[in-house]
Amino acid sequence: MTAYTEAIAPVDRAIAEELIQETPETWPEATLSVVSTRDETTPIQVEIRGPEESTERVGAGPYLCELLIKHYDVSRQHGVNWSGLTYAISLTEEGDWRYRVHYHYEQ
C-alpha cells in the first residue's frame, strides 16, 4: 500500500459514512459529485443526487465539506491532482450500506 493510499483511505471512508448520514432515510442510494475548481478560495464544487425518482434536494453539510477539503489537501500533499471525485452509496438487500469511489483525472 502506498503512503497516499494509507493517508487517503480513512478519509474516503469517512466521506462515505458522512454521506450516508446526510442522505434521507427514504433514499436507497445517492451519488456525491465533487469537482476541483483549482480556485484557492473555493477549491471544490459539490453536488448530492438521490434516486432518479426523488425530487428532494440535499446539500452537503459542514462536516462533509470539511472532509472533502481534507481529501483535496491530502491529495495535493501527495502530488495527486484529481479533477473530480464520485462517491456512490447504495443500500444492499441485507440492509447494509456499500460505497464506491471513482477518481477523475484531467487528460
Mean pLDDT by 10 residues, the chain (107 residues): 92 97 94 89 90 87 96 94 96 96 88
| pLDDT 10s digits, 38-67 | 777 888 899 999 998 888 889 999 999 999
Is the pTM above the cut of 0.75? Answer: yes
The sheet with strand 44-49 has its strands ordered as: 44-49, 29-36, 84-91, 97-104
Domain spans in the chain, listed from the N-terminal domain onward: 3-104
Which H or E run contains 5? helix 3-22
CATH match for 3-104 among 3.40.190, 3.30.500, 3.40.1350, 3.40.50: 3.30.500
What local confidence, expressed as pLDDT, does residue 1 receive?
Answer: 63
The b-or-e profile of 18-33 (16+ CB within 10 A means b, else e) is bbbebbeeebebbbbb
Whether the CB-CB separation of 44 and 35 falls below 8 Å is answered with yes
Beta pairing partners, 32: 48, 87
